[in-house]
Chain A
Amino acid sequence: MDRHSRRPASRARTHRAVSPWLFLLPGLGIVAAFNLYPFLTTVHKAFTDARTLTPGTWVGLRNFQDMLEDEQFWVALRNSGLYVLLVVPFTVLLPLLLALLVHKQLPGVTFFRSAFYTPVVASVVVVALIWGWMLDDRGLLNGILRFLGAGPVAFLGDEWLLLLSAMALTVWRGLGYYMIIYLAALANVPRELHEAAAVDGAGALRRFVSVTVPAVRSTMVLVGALSSVSAFKVFAEVHLLAGPTGGPAGQDTTLVMLVQRTGTGLNGRVGYASALSLVVFTIALLLMLLVLRADRKEDR
């Protein structure tokens, strides 16, 4: 092969190697500027004593050591952990049941689908305000309880009831969103399987356990992974119901609330808040991996 014929071939090779990167460049630029850069900045800040108005100096692991001695950190970790444990099972199961109720084409079913989806599109602030009024010591729920002769319940005054109320709000808000995901999954379940099971004498519950659940199992895992990460990172619901101090004596503070409280404002401890953010990131990542790994094990 002479030199002239080799040159276009090498140019073509170069072109093939470079041009895909040129197409990717705008996307990579956006990812680098808005995802990678803030993330790396956070990692760097986590090892400094940076404040809002001062860049700070390198302090090694001191922020993480401080965290271990910070009572509020342990309270927040407990609350975020409890949120995952108690919210996720409900966000996996209840929307599935709801989807089963509305997936058949019946007259008026669209109304119910829309109604169940309404909390998803409503602003979390508005929703939390409404729940706050309902749960107030002189709110709707306590009014009903009084009417029934029961004493007022301190939904917003007791640390545990407040946390459970926020969890109920999270589950309620997520029902419609996850229901839509399940509706898509249910549409793909072959009708013949249900018919065959019915012919074999399986009742509704048996068909649900033996046909529906296996068919939507991967969707359940997806919902589990998504809801566990968002439950671990909960902020708005608890912040709005419990107030900026995180409930009575700060006992309802979650990890993200702690990040917000310590890292913002003119005196914000940016270094410490970044270290907290890294812990939240790591645990959320581990949760996600754990759920996905459990799914793979199940597959084998």
Chain B
Amino acid sequence: MTASRRAAVTTAPLLAAVLALSACGSGTDTDGGSRADGKVAGEITFQTWNLRAKFKDYFNGLVGEFQRQHPDVKVRWLDQPAENYAQKLSADAGAGTLPDVVNVSPDLSYPLAKAGLLMNLDKEKVTAELKGEYTPEAWQGNALPGLGGSYAFPWYLNTGPLFYNKALFRQAGLDPEKPPKSYDELFAAAETMARHSGGKTATLAGTPSIEDFGRYGVKLMNDDATRFTYNEPKGVELLTKYKQLYDHGALDAQALTNTPEKSGQKFLEQKVAMNPGGAHDLETFKKNAPSLYKNLGITDAPNNTGKPNMYVMGLAVNNRSDHKAAAIAFARFVTDRKNQEAFAHQVAVFPSTKGSLRDPYWTEHDGTDEGRVRVASAKLLKGAVNYTPVVMSDEMKVVLKNEVAKALQGKKSPRQALDDAAERSDKLLKQG
């Protein structure tokens, strides 16, 4: 046998084995898991998303109380940092170690549910009958198009006010007590600000996102979520207006590359006049930018639809959990009215349980800024919708952002840019 033949004979089986192994490296089947209506017992894992640092005591208390009520269940609480949460989930899903109860937003639950890894709550009798305990908007917020049901217990909700810098408004000759409410007013204020400052003070730090298109009244997708439609005339109109703002210096010079964090930083440094945020930002402003805090204005993010944007968090149950009944019981416990309300008293989020928001805590001012934001935001939640289509992957968001940037730079017309973005995203959507 020649040396090369000998080498071939020894390496061929090795290669074949490796290639065969590689073929089963990832992927999941849709079967498996225990019964949803079985005995509430066993050890389960519960994963939250960047909550340990600030709410350790709350969750330890929650886990302790549940274990006291269910002595046969042991809950292991895990927490993952905010960064790369999707990557962590995909690694766990690929390795078959997805936690039994996992904190997800609808865009994260969509690929997991599609791969058969999450339980369809509408399909199981034991979970479907809990539907009435949550607000219809919140339950609907976790429903996934094309997958026939809701895939996570609604947990906390959030919506964001728009902060503005009254000093910069005053300097530009704008009335700081009358912030823009509609998109037209916003664009007019931004033009005035740019003109008065000679293009030095921008009103907004970022380019329009898919949520902006939604709030502007653009139809984002067709009814069965199989095709993007944001290139309709209203979408082109919004982008054309943003192009005018960019040309006149009403958008930050680095708007094309700014991330939300960078935009927040620019607002903190008083380089831009308006920025979206949440009640938790107030503490940052108070501590890091007292002069901004002194001049801080709070208003609602403009929308042309009468429906503000809402961020939805949920707790999903692993479809392949060995202790599905215990996982369901725990997810339900964390998201019940009492525990959701207790959590929402600790941080500026809102419960998704029916009737919770009628509590005076969310309807009456307590005289503090936090209270003002809380009451204003709670009011916005009525009729709020999650504008980001759950089927829109991060790659599709990048496609839209890049095409928007081409339009703002004048490399493409707004129509062409949106047509190209929609076409490319449709192609990605078809690829699955």
Chain A residues close to B by CB (< 8 Å)? 36-37, 40-41, 44-45, 49-55, 136-138, 152, 154, 156-157, 162, 242-250, 261-262, 264-270
Contacts and interface: CB of A to CB of B under 8 A. Distances in A.
A265 B259 contact: no
B22 A54 contact: no
Given A53-B112, A55-B25, A157 B253 contact: yes
A265 B394 contact: yes
Given A54-B27, A54-B115, A248 B108 contact: no
A265 B86 contact: yes
27 contacts: A41-B18, A41-B25, A44-B23, A51-B432, A52-B111, A53-B27, A53-B28, A53-B94, A53-B112, A55-B26, A137-B254, A156-B254, A157-B256, A162-B257, A243-B257, A243-B259, A244-B398, A245-B401, A245-B402, A246-B402, A249-B256, A249-B403, A264-B86, A265-B86, A265-B393, A266-B112, A267-B393
A249 B253 contact: no
Given A45-B22, A138-B271, A52 B94 contact: yes
A243 B255 CA distance: 11
Contacts of A52: 26, 90, 93-94, 111
A45 B28 CA distance: 16
Contacts of B257: 156-157, 162, 242-243, 245, 247-248
B201 to A, nearest CB: 11
A13 B62 CA distance: 69
Interface in B75-134: 86-87, 89-90, 93-94, 108, 111-112, 114-115, 117
B253 A262 contact: no
Nearest to B21: A37
A80 to B, nearest CB: 18
A248 B254 CA distance: 9
A152 B199 CA distance: 12
A51 B393 CA distance: 13
Contact of B22 (A40, A138, A247, A268): A40
A186 B305 CA distance: 71
A156 B262 CA distance: 12
Contact of B90 (A45, A261, A265): A265
Interface in B20-75: 21-28
Contact of A248 (B15, B259, B409): B409
Nearest to B115: A53
A235 to B, nearest CB: 15
A40 B16 CA distance: 10
Contacts of A137: 253-254
B376 interface: no
Q: Which of B28, B108, B401 has the most CB of A within 10 A?
A: B401
Contacts of A268: 90
A25 B395 CA distance: 42
Contacts of A244: 259, 398
Contacts of B431: 49, 269
Contacts of A53: 26-28, 90, 93-94, 111-112, 114-115, 117
B416 interface: no
A244 B402 CA distance: 11
Which 7 residue pairs of A and B lie closest in terms of their CB atoms, listed nearest first?
Answer: A55-B27, A41-B22, A267-B393, A249-B405, A53-B115, A248-B256, A266-B111
B27 A44 contact: no
B258 interface: yes
B147 interface: no
Contacts of A264: 86-87, 90
Contacts of B365: none
Nearest to A42: B22
Contact of A267 (B19, B111, B258, B402): B111
B195 interface: no
Given A41-B18, A53-B93, 17 more contacts: A40-B18, A41-B21, A44-B19, A44-B23, A54-B432, A55-B23, A55-B24, A55-B26, A138-B269, A138-B271, A244-B259, A245-B401, A247-B257, A250-B402, A266-B112, A268-B90, A269-B395
A21 B411 CA distance: 61
B406 interface: yes
Given A53-B93, A248-B405, A136 B394 contact: no
B130 to A, nearest CB: 26
B28 A267 contact: no
Q: Which of A45, A154, A245 has the most CB of B within 10 A?
A: A245
A261 B112 CA distance: 19
Given A53-B117, A157-B253, A40 B23 contact: no
B142 to A, nearest CB: 16
A242 B115 CA distance: 33
A243 B258 contact: yes
Contacts of B112: 53, 266
A39 to B, nearest CB: 9
A205 B87 CA distance: 54
Contact of A44 (B22, B409, B432): B22
B90 A249 contact: no
Contacts of A270: 26
A157 B409 CA distance: 11
A240 B108 CA distance: 24
Nearest to B117: A53
Contacts of B23: 44, 55
Interface string B246-258: 0000000110111
A84 to B, nearest CB: 24
A242 B398 CA distance: 13
Interface in B387-432: 393-395, 398, 401-403, 405-406, 409, 411, 431-432
